[in-house]
């Protein structure tokens, strides 16, 4: 079991932050750095999550960049910055450089960002995934 699921948030935070700060050598390892901004979002620490997500969005690996932009959009929604969140969604809807488009719609975090954005803006018709 993880520290987070056991409610040991200080221990979970330390490990997530350590993982995020560690160097990565593969796309899989870099993508899994998303656990830190996800943790921050779950704790409603939106500004910190935004900084971490933007760092992830600068990754050399396409999947990590996609996760970074998605999480940045969620953090911006949490901060009440709908216009900036729309910019992240525009990036996600475009053709992310180097990311295979056939896999993009199945990326789970990306699938839920659009509906979250439209629900927050009270545009229910557009919110269906």
**Structural domains for the chain:** 9-127 (1.25.40)
Instruction: Return the exposure string of 43-54: e unless at least 16 CB atoms fall within 10 Å of the residue's CB, then b.
Output: eebbebbbebbb
Measured CA to CA, the distance from residue 17 to residue 120 in angstroms comes to 29
Q: How many CB atoms lie within 10 A of CB 8?
A: 14
Measured CA to CA, the distance from residue 112 to residue 18 in angstroms comes to 27
pLDDT digits (tens, 9 = 90+) for 34-69: 999 999 999 999 999 999 999 999 999 888 888 898
pLDDT of residue 105: 47
Output the CA torsion 11→62→79→89 (10° steps): -150
pLDDT digits (tens, 9 = 90+) for 70-111: 899 999 999 998 888 888 887 777 755 555 555 544 455 555
pLDDT of residue 121: 54
* Residue 113 pLDDT > 70: no
């Amino acid at each position: 079991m993880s520290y987070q699921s056991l409610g040991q948030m200080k221990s979970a935070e330390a490990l997530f932050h350590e993982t995020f700060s560690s160097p990565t050598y593969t796309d899989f390892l870099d993508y899994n750095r998303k656990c830190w901004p996800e943790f921050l979002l779950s704790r409603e620490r939106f500004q910190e999550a935004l900084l971490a997500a933007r760092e992830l969005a600068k990754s050399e690996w396409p999947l990590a960049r996609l996760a970074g932009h998605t999480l940045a959009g969620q953090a911006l929604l949490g901060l009440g910055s709908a216009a900036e969140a729309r910019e992240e969604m525009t990036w996600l809807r475009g053709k992310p450089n180097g990311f295979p488009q056939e896999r993009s719609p199945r990326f789970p975090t990306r699938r839920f960002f659009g509906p979250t954005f439209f629900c927050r803006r009270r545009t229910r018709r557009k919110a269906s995934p």
